[in-house]
Amino acid sequence: MPTPVTGSAEVPPSGTSEPEDARARQEGDPRVPLSRRIAELEPQQWLTCGLLVLAAVLWTVSLPMTDFRHMGTYGLLDKFSPLFYFSFVPLTAGFVISLRRAGTAPWWPAVYCIALLVAIKAPTAILYDAVRYPWASKHDAVVNHMLRLGELHPHEALSGNMSAYDQWPGFFTLNAGLVKAFGVSSTASYLNWASVVYGILVIPVLVLIYRTFTEDWRLVWAAVWIFELANWVGQDYFSPQGMSYILYLAILAVVLRHFVRPGSAGTLRSRHNLDPAAAAVPPPTTVRQRAVCVAIIAPLIAAINFSHQLTPVMLCVALIALNLTKRYRNWGLLVVTGIIMLIWDLTMGRPLFVETVESLKESAGNLLNNSRPGYAGKLTGAGPVLQGEANVIMVLAVVVLAGAALLLRRRLVRSALPLLLVSAAPVPMFAVNDYGGEMLFRVYLFGLPGAAFFAAAALVPAAANTGKHRVAYRRITAVALPLALVALVAGFFPSYYGKEQSYYTPPAETAMVTKAIGNAPKDALILSATGSFPMALDRYDELEHWFFVEQEEPENIKMLKDPAGYLGRQISKGTTAIVILTRTQETFTAAEGLLPAGGFAELRSKLEASPKYQVIDRNEYGVVLEYHA
């Protein structure tokens, strides 16, 4: 009969067994003198440390060589120094080597994962003298709006569809408090670091989730590494969804570890039926214990609902998927989550909720439209096109690797079925709504934690496996693992930095925009090609905004024939109208295919030539005109 699993796996997943004294030295036992521990470090440990130091030195030296102020169509891709790219060779090599001892020294892969996060996400925070992602300044404007007024107006119509931020204000009220606590002028002083902060916070949450299904630290850290490289979506910037995503994963971690129903594990309680790397099913909990857990995580569920519109829906979808399993059939938690969401949607968020429900009449069932990318035209320019192609390749790479694990690690898949269901749960959202052209990216993001785990499982075989075929598989993966990680690193950069020319705005351009909007009289109309430039929605509670190129391309072709007349016919008599055209707008409209080649220059020249549009400010990065009927 199979032997019941009562604790950790009988065979360590790392496949190693060490004397107690050696293990004490490796784990930093204070009884062992530091000098002795250093002297007795093995060559592999010295190599692990040395490669990390080498990567850090190369990366640090390379950053000042990055000429980010003169980016072309390839963004930062051709501005990074060769040393920058080369620094990821020792970084990846050191990580792969550190995995060999992950069972006894898991902190080394952890350090490497943090180093990877900093290496791929921190360059813009360190280099840029302006806000990365022009639309992030919109969120800074919301915080400033709340600090200035000290109150919310959830049912007041605000320009630029900004009412939703007063209806879901959790993230912004939190940062308003942080601005006061830190004594800084605005969130602009730290918002570029959001991706690094979010990334560091998500690591321990992912570890908790992955350790629920595997005892193999190699698999855990390989999954974290793949998650970081595959997370090119760009939703971890200073935004409500970035914070809500971490809370979402934290709730899933609690559910997966503490909501197992008694008697639901069945044969998975036996080590004989588990993959050698699989963890035993967590201990079951009673109804009372689960009720206490619901009470504990209810504030986190509420915080998500206070901050973001889509994440609560994704949480409900994930919980529904878990309820399909006997192991996690907890309808009470799902009901509580749904009630909290509906209470918020029908009170503070009612205006947008009603609007969204009405839009479902057109979007529901329209799979092709709902899965389209978030731009109206066709990507143009070498950098944006390369980024789009790299995005597709990165998705396919993760899917193919995860699919291979479903075939090669069937026993692991069986025990980790809840994680697989949670990862697939967002896919049906394509049948509901396009979420402003972002549903494709959100479905990928919410499915990524599980996909990264199974992708890693395909590359990190169980060390305890024996047999002719298993040995051959381990030899193949010994080569496939470093090659796959290097390929993911290579794919990350065009996916994440290929359109960087649209994401960086020179301070002089921002200063010109700030001056124009700051001097505009109350109730004036601000016109611009797009809203993708810093300060675009500053004073959104006092001014009207019209981003007149953010429409279907045929209408923009019509507008270009006579832009002065096209805009003038839609400006109410007596309204002070100010047109702001900047280089960042030009780059964005070209990259997203909103205007034909040369269309923005044509738009600007025709408006400047019109006697009804007077130039009131200009510099090398843009022009400000005032309309006179």
Q: What is the pLDDT of residue 171?
A: 95
On the question of pLDDT at 322 being above 90, the answer is: yes
Q: Kindly indicate the confidence band of residue 106, based on its pLDDT and cuts at 50, 70 and 90.
A: confident
Cβ atoms of 142 and 239 within 8 Å: the answer is no
What torsion, rounded to 10 degrees, do the Cα atoms 587, 593, 594, 597 define?
Answer: 70
- Give the model confidence (pLDDT) of 438-447 as tens digits: 788 889 999 9
Q: Kindly indicate the confidence band of residue 476, based on its pLDDT and cuts at 50, 70 and 90.
A: confident
- Give the model confidence (pLDDT) of 328-375 as tens digits: 999 999 999 999 999 999 999 888 888 888 877 777 766 666 666 655
H-type helices in 122-193, by residue range? 123-127, 136-149, 163-167, 170-182
Cβ atoms of 282 and 212 within 8 Å: the answer is yes
Average pLDDT over residues 598-603: 93
- Give the model confidence (pLDDT) of 49-59 as tens digits: 999 999 999 99
Q: Is the pTM of this model over 0.75?
A: yes
On the question of pLDDT at 15 being above 90, the answer is: no
Backbone angles phi, psi at 206, to 5 degrees: -60, -40
Q: What is the pLDDT of residue 393?
A: 94
Q: Kindly indicate the confidence band of residue 36, based on its pLDDT and cuts at 50, 70 and 90.
A: low
Q: What is the pLDDT of residue 388?
A: 87
More confident residue, 274 or 469: 274
Backbone angles phi, psi at 4, to 5 degrees: -60, 145
Average pLDDT over residues 482-508: 93
- Give the model confidence (pLDDT) of 259-301 as tens digits: 999 988 878 877 788 888 899 999 999 999 999 999 999 999 9
As given in the structure block, the two tokens for residue 325 are 């399993």
- Assign 3-state DSSP to the chain and report helix, strand, coil percentages, each to 5: 60, 5, 30
Q: Is the dihedral of CA 48, 49, 50, 56 positive or negative?
A: positive
Q: What mean pLDDT, rounded, does the chain reach? A: 87
Beta carbons within 10 angstroms of residue 8's beta carbon: 11
Q: What is the pLDDT of residue 467?
A: 55
3 state DSSP class of 5? coil
On the question of pLDDT at 615 being above 70, the answer is: yes
Q: What is the pLDDT of residue 23?
A: 47
pLDDT-above-70 percentage for the chain: 89
On the question of pLDDT at 493 being above 70, the answer is: yes
Q: Kindly indicate the confidence band of residue 320, based on its pLDDT and cuts at 50, 70 and 90.
A: very high
Q: Of 430-434, 514-518, 575-579, 592-596, which range is least confident? A: 430-434
DSSP tag of 66:
-
More confident residue, 454 or 475: 454
528 - beta bridge partners? Answer: 547, 580
Q: What is the pLDDT of residue 6?
A: 41
More confident residue, 35 or 563: 563
In terms of Cα–Cα distance, which of 216, 104, 213, 109 is closest to 463?
216
Average pLDDT over residues 400-421: 94
- Tokens 């990065």, residue located: 621
As given in the structure block, the two tokens for residue 40 are 């007795």
More confident residue, 167 or 363: 167
Q: What is the pLDDT of residue 374?
A: 58
Q: What is the pLDDT of residue 9?
A: 38
DSSP tag of 535:
T
Residues near 352 by beta carbon (within 8 Å), at least 6 away in sequence: 163, 164, 167, 309
3 state DSSP class of 613? strand
525 - beta bridge partners? Answer: 544, 577
CA dist 144 and 538 (Å) reads: 9
